[in-house]
Amino acid sequence: MTMYLNRLFSESFVDNYVMRALKEKIKNNVHSKNTTALNEFLETTYGINIDKVLNSIEFSKSLYDTVWVVSINDNTIEEKSQEKVISLVKLIEYGNLKVKGLNVINDAFKYIKSHLDVLYKFYQMKGGK
């Protein structure tokens, strides 16, 4: 659940377009799946649902030499359950022995990475440089 981007992309683009697009794509992917069993498991075990986990996702970005690294923040805690968001995200993505994962988060990262050129053109049309 990590994306590597060329340093040629501006910090503004990474913050305002890439991270926002990732979050929206993840939500859209989840809502296109049957989430009943996973939501029941999360409600029973943690007292939360998938939407609360998705709303708690925060992304981190770092610049290493010539590469932006964008990933889900490992240190964010979901308020109600007091669990790390990354652990809940992995449960949603991969599942466990009791519930099947949705396999939507890595798909969202791949989708945004493969459509960066379109996203960047949109960013430029809105005045970004």
Structural domain count, the chain: 1
Query: Which one has a higher pLDDT value, 127 or 82?
Result: 82
Dihedral (Cα; 89, 18, 20, 13), 10-degree rounding: 150
Model confidence pLDDT, tens digit, residues 15-50? 999 999 999 999 999 999 999 999 999 999 999 999
pLDDT, residue 128, reads 75
Containing structural domain, residue 20: 2-125
Say which residue the tokens 């969202």 belong to.
Answer: 108
pTM here? 0.91
pLDDT at res. 13: 95
pLDDT at 63 over 70: yes
